[in-house]
Structure 1
Amino acid sequence: MTETREPAETGGYASLEEDDEDLSPEWLRELSLLVTLNWPWCLSLLEMVDRLCALFLMEALGRLRAVSVLGVLDWLYLLSLLGILDSLCPFFLAVLDRL
């Protein structure tokens, strides 16, 4: 059942489902505006995070004496879930060459 409001200006009743009002929280609207206005900076930040992640993984894997293929595949699956696998593909190819 659709809730109704007071009669609209046209003489009929306006449905709440027909509202186009933005109901997202204020902080989400501000964040969206910030990203929209500063998208080049946001892209460079994402690239920097990818590089730091690659360095961290390289250091972590470098300290391990025996890296199993299963462990590498687990890392690949985790990174694919995080959506950063594309930028780290060359890194993992180098790791697989060392095994």
Structure 2
Amino acid sequence: MFLELGEHLEMIQKGVGMIVNEGQVSPDNIPTMLIEIGEESVLDIIPSLIAKGYIKSKNEFMRLMKQNGVSLNGEKLVEDDTDIILMNDEVLQIGEQQYIRFIK
């Protein structure tokens, strides 16, 4: 079933359905991960991503970054971006279908 443009806009305004980010559509029910003060960089959260099963190792994460398989808020991350400080409500995408929303 296709919706009219007005219905899509209404759903987006209500926060229902899908999130559109940089031309990509991602689910609105993204799992969240709490990031702690002092451990807020991309590099700092890698152990938590491993513990929660999003990635298998730091090497896998770095390989995915090199292959343009990691995005933050729709922007591709590169190896030099591991020092970026994550903010509240940012969304990390790993691969094609894994999304994590960060909360502080």
Q: Tell me which interval the TM-score lies in, with the shorter structure as reference length.
A: under 0.3
Which structure carries more strand by proportion? 2
TM-score (norm. length: structure 1): 0.26
Larger Rg: 1
TM-score (norm. length: structure 2): 0.25
Which structure carries more helix by proportion? 1
